[in-house]
Amino acid sequence: MLRLVKLTSFAVTALLLIAGLAGMAQAEKVVLADFEQLGVAADGSLPDWVLKEAGTKLVLTSDPQLVSQGNRALQVFMTVTKDQNRAMLQLLTHGANWSDLTGLYVDVYNPLEESVDLIVAIQTANWDWKEFASITLDPGWNRDVYISFNQPFWKSSATGWAYTSVLTDKEEVNGLNFMFVVYNAGDCMFAIDNIRVER
């Protein structure tokens, strides 16, 4: 009887271990952009990266304070005014199929003494805008900032611009957007690194 109980206990432990490993496999993270191999075009631009609105300049940096992993990160410079306090950084993804992805991770460095907001938006087929609820970035490193695709924190024209939906239409993704919202006027900079997708 004792031997049977031990075998049963071992079997349950093995099943729990297998289930745990299966859960880990489901949460695999794949690097989308870490800026290690990104080159600079002849005109000084960075292929597939676009800076808009209050953004003024993109710079690849090797400053250890601004790199969360590897050797390089991307600096985003902006000039905040009373009329424009948001810099939009866009990665063109060229209709990528993200239907098997469940979320996104990113590391962001905020050198300011105050918190700022990060807004993440994804443009799907026909450049339809889908926006995730605002995230607070505290001063210093904000590592593993997580944007879930399967939680009802997304808004779009289909939701009446209310945060009530999961991310839809992932089979065609044309743009990934990071928007830095700053509330005090002046020049500032943020660093972004280690962008990963979860499947």
Tell me how far apart the alpha carbons of residues 195 and 49 are, in angstroms, rounded to a whole number.
13
Residue 165 lies in a domain: yes
> What does the pLDDT profile of the chain (199 residues) look like in tens digits?
544 444 445 444 444 444 454 444 567 999 999 999 999 998 889 999 999 999 999 999 999 999 999 999 999 999 999 999 999 999 999 999 999 999 999 999 999 999 999 999 999 999 999 999 999 999 999 999 999 999 999 999 999 999 999 999 999 999 999 999 999 999 999 999 999 999 9
Domains in the chain: how many in total? 1
Range of the domain at 76: 29-198
Residue 20 lies in a domain: no
Residue 180 lies in a domain: yes
Phi, psi of 153 (to 5 degrees): -115, 25
- In this prediction the pTM is 0.86
CATH of the domain at 42: 2.60.120.260
